Amino acid sequence: MLQGVLADRDAWSPVGECPIEKTMSAVGAKSSMLIMREAYYGTTRFDDFAKRVGITKAATSARLSELVNVGLLTKRRYQEPGQRARDEYVLTDVGVDFMPVVFAMFQWGREHLPNNRKLELTHLDCGADARVEVLCDNGHRVPLDELGMKLVRRSRAR
Amino acid sequence: MLQGVLADRDAWSPVGECPIEKTMSAVGAKSSMLIMREAYYGTTRFDDFAKRVGITKAATSARLSELVNVGLLTKRRYQEPGQRARDEYVLTDVGVDFMPVVFAMFQWGREHLPNNRKLELTHLDCGADARVEVLCDNGHRVPLDELGMKLVRRSRAR
DNA sequence: CGGGATCCCTAGCGATACTG
DNA sequence: CAGTATCGCTAGGGATCCCG
Protein backbone atom coordinates (compact mmCIF):
# COMPACT_ATOMS: atom_id res chain seq x y z
CA MET A 1 0.00 0.00 0.00
CA LEU A 2 1.37 3.32 -1.11
CA GLN A 3 4.75 1.71 -1.58
CA GLY A 4 5.04 2.81 -5.15
CA VAL A 5 5.78 6.40 -4.25
CA LEU A 6 8.64 5.70 -1.91
CA ALA A 7 11.22 6.89 -4.40
CA ASP A 8 9.48 10.23 -4.88
CA ARG A 9 9.25 10.86 -1.18
CA ASP A 10 12.98 11.39 -0.97
CA ALA A 11 12.57 14.38 -3.25
CA TRP A 12 11.29 16.58 -0.44
CA SER A 13 11.91 14.71 2.79
CA PRO A 14 13.45 15.55 5.18
CA VAL A 15 14.78 18.91 4.04
CA GLY A 16 11.82 21.09 4.91
CA GLU A 17 10.22 21.10 1.47
CA CYS A 18 7.26 19.04 2.57
CA PRO A 19 3.94 20.94 2.51
CA ILE A 20 2.81 19.14 5.64
CA GLU A 21 5.83 20.34 7.55
CA LYS A 22 5.41 23.88 6.27
CA THR A 23 1.74 23.89 7.18
CA MET A 24 2.52 22.70 10.69
CA SER A 25 5.24 25.32 11.06
CA ALA A 26 2.96 28.08 9.86
CA VAL A 27 -0.29 27.25 11.66
CA GLY A 28 0.42 24.12 13.65
CA ALA A 29 -0.13 25.57 17.11
CA LYS A 30 -3.08 24.04 18.88
CA SER A 31 -4.64 27.41 19.58
CA SER A 32 -4.31 28.35 15.90
CA MET A 33 -6.52 25.42 15.01
CA LEU A 34 -9.03 26.42 17.68
CA ILE A 35 -9.04 30.03 16.50
CA MET A 36 -9.80 28.78 13.00
CA ARG A 37 -12.62 26.68 14.42
CA GLU A 38 -14.07 29.82 15.95
CA ALA A 39 -13.62 31.71 12.71
CA TYR A 40 -15.70 29.03 10.95
CA TYR A 41 -18.36 29.54 13.57
CA GLY A 42 -18.48 33.22 12.72
CA THR A 43 -16.36 34.70 15.48
CA THR A 44 -14.52 37.85 14.37
CA ARG A 45 -13.58 39.81 17.48
CA PHE A 46 -10.45 39.66 19.56
CA ASP A 47 -12.03 39.12 22.94
CA ASP A 48 -14.46 36.54 21.60
CA PHE A 49 -11.58 34.50 20.21
CA ALA A 50 -9.76 34.73 23.54
CA LYS A 51 -12.80 33.71 25.60
CA ARG A 52 -14.08 30.93 23.35
CA VAL A 53 -10.72 29.37 22.65
CA GLY A 54 -9.82 29.73 26.29
CA ILE A 55 -6.41 31.35 25.93
CA THR A 56 -4.96 34.59 27.24
CA LYS A 57 -5.03 37.79 25.27
CA ALA A 58 -1.28 37.64 24.79
CA ALA A 59 -1.59 34.26 23.11
CA THR A 60 -4.62 35.43 21.15
CA SER A 61 -2.69 38.41 19.85
CA ALA A 62 0.27 36.29 18.82
CA ARG A 63 -1.83 33.62 17.09
CA LEU A 64 -4.10 36.11 15.31
CA SER A 65 -1.08 37.99 13.98
CA GLU A 66 0.39 34.76 12.62
CA LEU A 67 -2.88 33.76 10.99
CA VAL A 68 -3.16 37.18 9.36
CA ASN A 69 0.43 36.97 8.12
CA VAL A 70 -0.10 33.53 6.62
CA GLY A 71 -3.29 34.79 5.02
CA LEU A 72 -5.97 32.69 6.69
CA LEU A 73 -7.56 35.72 8.30
CA THR A 74 -7.56 39.38 7.43
CA LYS A 75 -7.80 42.34 9.74
CA ARG A 76 -10.68 44.68 9.02
CA ARG A 77 -11.52 47.98 10.63
CA TYR A 78 -15.17 48.55 11.43
CA GLN A 79 -17.16 51.17 13.23
CA GLU A 80 -20.43 50.78 15.04
CA PRO A 81 -22.59 53.91 15.29
CA GLY A 82 -21.75 55.82 18.42
CA GLN A 83 -18.69 53.65 19.05
CA ARG A 84 -15.06 54.15 18.22
CA ALA A 85 -13.42 52.17 15.44
CA ARG A 86 -12.47 48.59 16.24
CA ASP A 87 -10.72 45.70 14.52
CA GLU A 88 -12.16 42.39 13.55
CA TYR A 89 -10.60 39.28 12.02
CA VAL A 90 -12.41 37.76 9.09
CA LEU A 91 -11.89 34.61 7.06
CA THR A 92 -10.17 34.86 3.69
CA ASP A 93 -10.55 32.40 0.79
CA VAL A 94 -7.31 30.86 1.92
CA GLY A 95 -8.84 30.46 5.36
CA VAL A 96 -11.91 28.77 3.93
CA ASP A 97 -9.61 26.39 2.04
CA PHE A 98 -8.18 25.40 5.39
CA MET A 99 -11.48 23.97 6.62
CA PRO A 100 -10.79 20.39 5.54
CA VAL A 101 -7.81 20.30 7.88
CA VAL A 102 -9.82 21.42 10.88
CA PHE A 103 -12.82 19.27 10.09
CA ALA A 104 -10.73 16.20 9.38
CA MET A 105 -9.29 16.61 12.88
CA PHE A 106 -12.74 17.18 14.27
CA GLN A 107 -13.98 14.04 12.59
CA TRP A 108 -11.07 11.85 13.63
CA GLY A 109 -11.10 13.06 17.21
CA ARG A 110 -14.84 12.56 17.53
CA GLU A 111 -14.53 9.06 16.17
CA HIS A 112 -11.44 7.79 17.90
CA LEU A 113 -10.89 9.72 21.10
CA PRO A 114 -13.01 9.27 24.22
CA ASN A 115 -15.71 11.92 24.40
CA ASN A 116 -19.23 12.30 25.58
CA ARG A 117 -20.84 14.93 23.43
CA LYS A 118 -21.19 14.18 19.76
CA LEU A 119 -21.43 16.54 16.85
CA GLU A 120 -22.11 15.73 13.24
CA LEU A 121 -21.25 17.65 10.12
CA THR A 122 -24.26 18.24 7.92
CA HIS A 123 -24.92 19.45 4.41
CA LEU A 124 -27.20 22.42 5.08
CA ASP A 125 -28.88 22.26 1.67
CA CYS A 126 -30.09 18.68 1.87
CA GLY A 127 -29.77 17.98 5.57
CA ALA A 128 -27.74 14.80 5.18
CA ASP A 129 -24.75 13.99 7.34
CA ALA A 130 -21.39 14.82 5.82
CA ARG A 131 -17.77 13.83 6.27
CA VAL A 132 -14.31 14.51 4.92
CA GLU A 133 -13.23 12.16 2.15
CA VAL A 134 -10.80 11.93 -0.70
CA LEU A 135 -12.40 12.33 -4.11
CA CYS A 136 -10.83 11.91 -7.55
CA ASP A 137 -11.57 13.80 -10.76
CA ASN A 138 -13.65 10.93 -12.08
CA GLY A 139 -15.92 11.30 -9.10
CA HIS A 140 -14.82 8.18 -7.26
CA ARG A 141 -14.62 8.12 -3.52
CA VAL A 142 -11.00 7.06 -3.08
CA PRO A 143 -10.44 4.41 -0.41
CA LEU A 144 -7.33 5.42 1.45
CA ASP A 145 -5.43 2.36 0.30
CA GLU A 146 -5.96 3.35 -3.33
CA LEU A 147 -4.36 6.72 -2.82
CA GLY A 148 -1.04 7.56 -4.45
CA MET A 149 1.09 10.59 -5.14
CA LYS A 150 3.01 11.76 -8.14
CA LEU A 151 5.46 14.55 -8.78
CA VAL A 152 4.43 17.17 -11.31
CA ARG A 153 6.78 19.61 -12.93
CA ARG A 154 5.66 23.07 -12.07
CA SER A 155 3.28 25.26 -10.14
CA ARG A 156 -0.25 25.42 -11.43
CA ALA A 157 -2.67 28.21 -10.73
CA ARG A 158 -5.88 27.38 -8.93
CA MET B 1 -22.39 31.25 6.92
CA LEU B 2 -22.25 28.66 9.66
CA GLN B 3 -23.84 31.14 12.01
CA GLY B 4 -26.73 28.84 12.81
CA VAL B 5 -24.65 26.62 15.01
CA LEU B 6 -23.28 29.33 17.23
CA ALA B 7 -25.44 28.30 20.13
CA ASP B 8 -24.26 24.70 19.97
CA ARG B 9 -20.63 25.72 19.96
CA ASP B 10 -20.86 26.83 23.57
CA ALA B 11 -21.70 23.26 24.49
CA TRP B 12 -18.07 22.16 24.26
CA SER B 13 -15.97 25.27 23.95
CA PRO B 14 -13.73 26.24 25.66
CA VAL B 15 -13.63 23.52 28.29
CA GLY B 16 -11.52 20.95 26.52
CA GLU B 17 -14.38 18.85 25.17
CA CYS B 18 -13.70 19.85 21.59
CA PRO B 19 -12.49 16.96 19.41
CA ILE B 20 -10.18 19.31 17.55
CA GLU B 21 -8.46 20.31 20.75
CA LYS B 22 -8.18 16.72 21.89
CA THR B 23 -6.75 15.68 18.56
CA MET B 24 -4.16 18.44 18.69
CA SER B 25 -3.25 17.53 22.25
CA ALA B 26 -2.87 13.87 21.38
CA VAL B 27 -1.05 14.04 18.05
CA GLY B 28 -0.57 17.74 17.34
CA ALA B 29 3.21 17.79 17.37
CA LYS B 30 4.70 18.63 14.01
CA SER B 31 6.91 15.55 14.03
CA SER B 32 3.89 13.37 14.80
CA MET B 33 2.29 14.50 11.56
CA LEU B 34 5.52 13.82 9.67
CA ILE B 35 5.86 10.39 11.22
CA MET B 36 2.33 9.63 10.07
CA ARG B 37 3.27 10.85 6.60
CA GLU B 38 6.12 8.35 6.60
CA ALA B 39 3.86 5.62 7.86
CA TYR B 40 1.55 6.23 4.89
CA TYR B 41 4.55 5.87 2.63
CA GLY B 42 5.23 2.49 4.11
CA THR B 43 7.97 3.25 6.61
CA THR B 44 7.89 0.94 9.62
CA ARG B 45 11.32 1.04 11.24
CA PHE B 46 12.65 3.25 13.97
CA ASP B 47 15.75 4.52 12.24
CA ASP B 48 13.91 5.10 8.98
CA PHE B 49 11.39 7.30 10.76
CA ALA B 50 14.18 9.25 12.43
CA LYS B 51 16.15 9.76 9.21
CA ARG B 52 13.25 10.56 6.92
CA VAL B 53 11.44 12.87 9.29
CA GLY B 54 14.74 14.47 10.18
CA ILE B 55 14.49 14.33 13.97
CA THR B 56 16.68 12.82 16.64
CA LYS B 57 16.19 9.34 17.97
CA ALA B 58 15.05 10.73 21.31
CA ALA B 59 12.26 12.65 19.63
CA THR B 60 11.45 9.67 17.42
CA SER B 61 11.14 7.46 20.48
CA ALA B 62 8.87 9.92 22.28
CA ARG B 63 6.61 10.52 19.26
CA LEU B 64 6.34 6.84 18.32
CA SER B 65 5.37 5.95 21.88
CA GLU B 66 2.63 8.57 21.86
CA LEU B 67 1.32 7.42 18.49
CA VAL B 68 1.22 3.82 19.71
CA ASN B 69 -0.57 4.88 22.90
CA VAL B 70 -3.19 6.83 20.99
CA GLY B 71 -3.62 3.87 18.66
CA LEU B 72 -2.49 5.27 15.32
CA LEU B 73 0.41 2.84 15.14
CA THR B 74 1.06 -0.52 16.70
CA LYS B 75 4.35 -2.08 17.67
CA ARG B 76 5.06 -5.41 16.08
CA ARG B 77 7.92 -7.80 16.63
CA TYR B 78 9.41 -9.36 13.54
CA GLN B 79 12.34 -11.55 12.75
CA GLU B 80 14.35 -11.72 9.56
CA PRO B 81 16.08 -15.02 8.87
CA GLY B 82 19.54 -14.98 10.36
CA GLN B 83 18.83 -11.75 12.21
CA ARG B 84 17.73 -11.15 15.76
CA ALA B 85 14.18 -10.01 16.52
CA ARG B 86 13.38 -6.34 15.93
CA ASP B 87 10.45 -4.00 16.35
CA GLU B 88 8.53 -2.19 13.68
CA TYR B 89 5.67 0.31 13.83
CA VAL B 90 2.73 -0.41 11.59
CA LEU B 91 -0.43 1.52 10.78
CA THR B 92 -3.67 0.56 12.48
CA ASP B 93 -7.18 1.19 11.16
CA VAL B 94 -7.30 4.22 13.42
CA GLY B 95 -4.09 5.41 11.81
CA VAL B 96 -5.52 4.96 8.33
CA ASP B 97 -8.54 7.00 9.43
CA PHE B 98 -6.15 9.81 10.24
CA MET B 99 -5.02 10.18 6.64
CA PRO B 100 -7.52 12.93 5.75
CA VAL B 101 -5.93 15.17 8.38
CA VAL B 102 -2.44 14.73 6.99
CA PHE B 103 -3.50 14.97 3.37
CA ALA B 104 -5.68 18.00 3.97
CA MET B 105 -2.62 19.72 5.37
CA PHE B 106 -0.56 18.48 2.47
CA GLN B 107 -3.11 19.84 0.05
CA TRP B 108 -3.50 23.22 1.73
CA GLY B 109 0.23 23.76 2.15
CA ARG B 110 0.95 22.82 -1.43
CA GLU B 111 -1.72 25.21 -2.61
CA HIS B 112 -1.16 28.21 -0.38
CA LEU B 113 2.41 28.19 0.86
CA PRO B 114 5.38 29.08 -1.32
CA ASN B 115 7.05 25.94 -2.65
CA ASN B 116 8.87 24.74 -5.68
CA ARG B 117 8.20 21.06 -5.98
CA LYS B 118 4.65 19.94 -6.55
CA LEU B 119 3.00 16.67 -5.69
CA GLU B 120 -0.46 15.52 -6.60
CA LEU B 121 -2.68 12.97 -4.96
CA THR B 122 -3.94 10.35 -7.38
CA HIS B 123 -6.52 7.61 -7.40
CA LEU B 124 -4.36 4.58 -8.19
CA ASP B 125 -7.23 2.59 -9.71
CA CYS B 126 -8.23 5.11 -12.36
CA GLY B 127 -5.22 7.40 -12.43
CA ALA B 128 -7.17 10.61 -11.95
CA ASP B 129 -6.05 13.40 -9.63
CA ALA B 130 -7.65 13.38 -6.21
CA ARG B 131 -8.25 15.78 -3.36
CA VAL B 132 -9.78 16.02 0.08
CA GLU B 133 -13.38 17.20 0.11
CA VAL B 134 -16.46 17.12 2.27
CA LEU B 135 -19.11 14.72 1.05
CA CYS B 136 -22.66 14.20 2.33
CA ASP B 137 -24.67 10.99 2.54
CA ASN B 138 -26.65 11.94 -0.56
CA GLY B 139 -23.41 12.04 -2.51
CA HIS B 140 -23.19 15.80 -2.86
CA ARG B 141 -19.85 17.54 -2.75
CA VAL B 142 -20.50 20.00 0.06
CA PRO B 143 -19.18 23.52 -0.61
CA LEU B 144 -17.67 24.70 2.62
CA ASP B 145 -20.23 27.46 3.02
CA GLU B 146 -23.02 24.88 3.03
CA LEU B 147 -21.51 22.98 5.90
CA GLY B 148 -23.22 22.90 9.28
CA MET B 149 -23.02 20.98 12.52
CA LYS B 150 -25.58 19.48 14.79
CA LEU B 151 -25.49 17.91 18.19
CA VAL B 152 -26.57 14.30 18.45
CA ARG B 153 -27.48 12.53 21.64
CA ARG B 154 -25.14 9.63 22.05
CA SER B 155 -22.11 7.79 20.79
CA ARG B 156 -22.55 5.67 17.72
CA ALA B 157 -20.37 2.75 16.81
CA ARG B 158 -18.54 2.83 13.51
C1' DC C 1 -13.01 46.66 23.92
C1' DG C 2 -8.51 45.54 21.83
C1' DG C 3 -4.58 45.02 22.74
C1' DG C 4 1.04 45.30 24.49
C1' DA C 5 4.76 44.23 28.26
C1' DT C 6 6.71 41.26 31.66
C1' DC C 7 7.60 36.98 34.11
C1' DC C 8 7.57 32.20 34.36
C1' DC C 9 6.49 27.34 33.35
C1' DT C 10 6.24 23.38 30.17
C1' DA C 11 6.56 20.60 25.91
C1' DG C 12 8.95 19.71 21.63
C1' DC C 13 13.26 19.13 19.86
C1' DG C 14 18.51 18.93 18.78
C1' DA C 15 23.07 17.24 20.39
C1' DT C 16 25.60 13.98 22.52
C1' DA C 17 26.64 9.83 24.81
C1' DC C 18 25.57 5.12 26.23
C1' DT C 19 23.16 0.22 25.90
C1' DG C 20 21.80 -4.32 24.00
C1' DC D 1 19.57 -1.63 14.45
C1' DA D 2 16.64 0.03 18.17
C1' DG D 3 16.50 2.36 21.46
C1' DT D 4 17.39 5.21 26.64
C1' DA D 5 19.51 9.19 29.40
C1' DT D 6 20.98 13.82 30.02
C1' DC D 7 21.44 18.69 28.85
C1' DG D 8 20.08 22.87 26.99
C1' DC D 9 17.45 25.75 23.72
C1' DT D 10 13.07 27.75 21.99
C1' DA D 11 8.17 28.49 21.19
C1' DG D 12 3.54 28.10 23.09
C1' DG D 13 1.00 29.67 26.56
C1' DG D 14 -0.81 31.18 31.58
C1' DA D 15 -0.90 35.10 34.90
C1' DT D 16 -0.73 39.69 35.83
C1' DC D 17 -0.57 44.54 34.97
C1' DC D 18 -1.04 48.47 32.03
C1' DC D 19 -2.84 51.38 28.17
C1' DG D 20 -5.97 54.11 24.77
B71 with B37: CB under 8 angstroms?
no
Chain C: positions less than 7 Å from a protein CB are 1-7, 11-17
The answer, yes or no, to whether residue A15 has pLDDT greater than 70, is no
Cβ of residue B126 closer than 8 Å to a chain A Cβ: yes
The pLDDT, as a whole number, for residue B158 is 38
The answer, yes or no, to whether residue A150 has pLDDT greater than 80, is no
Residues of A in contact with B121 (CB under 8 A): 134, 147-149
Q: Which of A137-146, A147-156, B43-52 has the lowest mean pLDDT?
A: A147-156
Of the candidates A140, A136, A133, A131, the one whose C-alpha atom is nearest the C-alpha of residue A149 is A136
**Model confidence at B155, in pLDDT bands (50, 70, 90)?**
very low
**Model confidence at B124, in pLDDT bands (50, 70, 90)?**
confident
Separation in Å, CA of A37 to nearest CA in chain B: 8
What are the distances in angstroms from CA B148 to CA A31, A51, A123, A131, B6?
22, 22, 6, 11, 10
Residues of A in contact with B19 (CB under 8 A): 105-110, 113, 115, 119
The answer, yes or no, to whether residue A14 has pLDDT greater than 50, is no
pLDDT in tens, B84-100: 778 899 999 999 999 99
A15 with B34: CB under 8 angstroms?
no
**Model confidence at B57, in pLDDT bands (50, 70, 90)?**
very high
Residues in chain B: 158
Residue range B109-136: average pLDDT? 83
The pLDDT, as a whole number, for residue A36 is 96
Specify the DSSP class assigned to residue A29.
Answer: S
Q: Within 7 Å: CB of A30 and strand D?
A: yes
Q: Within 7 Å: CB of B146 and strand D?
A: no
Residues of A in contact with B100 (CB under 8 A): 100, 104, 107-108, 132-134
Residue range B10-38: average pLDDT? 83
The pLDDT, as a whole number, for residue B142 is 86
Largest CA distance in chain A: 64
- Domains assigned to chain A: 4-146 (1.10.10.10)
Mean pLDDT of chain A: 83
Cβ of residue A94 closer than 8 Å to a chain B Cβ: yes
Cβ of residue B101 closer than 8 Å to a chain A Cβ: yes
The answer, yes or no, to whether residue B8 has pLDDT greater than 60, is no
Nearest CB to B17: which of A8, A108, A117? A117
Selected residue of B136, B145, B158 to mutate for chain A interface (largest A Cβ count, 10 A): B136
Separation in Å, CA of B12 to nearest CA in chain A: 8
Q: Which of A70-84, A103-117, B7-21 has the lowest mean pLDDT?
A: B7-21
Residue range A63-70: average pLDDT? 95
Residue range A49-74: average pLDDT? 95
The answer, yes or no, to whether residue A81 has pLDDT greater than 50, is yes
**Model confidence at B156, in pLDDT bands (50, 70, 90)?**
very low
Q: pTM of the predicted model, to two decimals?
A: 0.87
pLDDT in tens, A99-145: 999 999 999 998 898 765 666 788 988 989 888 888 899 989 888 77
Cβ neighbours of B68 (radius 10 Å): 15
- Residue A50's Cβ-side half-sphere holds a number of Cα atoms within 13 Å equal to 11
**Model confidence at A3, in pLDDT bands (50, 70, 90)?**
very low
The pLDDT, as a whole number, for residue A104 is 95
The pLDDT, as a whole number, for residue B117 is 61
Specify the DSSP class assigned to residue B69.
Answer: H
Which residues 9-38 in chain B show a CB within 8 A of chain A?
9-26, 28, 30, 33-34, 37-38
CA of B49 to C1' of D5 (A): 20
User: Is the model more confident about B63 or about A147?
Assistant: B63
Nearest CB to B124: which of A97, A119, A147? A147
Q: Within 7 Å: CB of B45 and strand D?
A: yes
Of the candidates A149, A85, A154, A29, the one whose C-alpha atom is nearest the C-alpha of residue B118 is A154
The pLDDT, as a whole number, for residue A71 is 95
Mean pLDDT of chain B: 83
The pLDDT, as a whole number, for residue A100 is 94
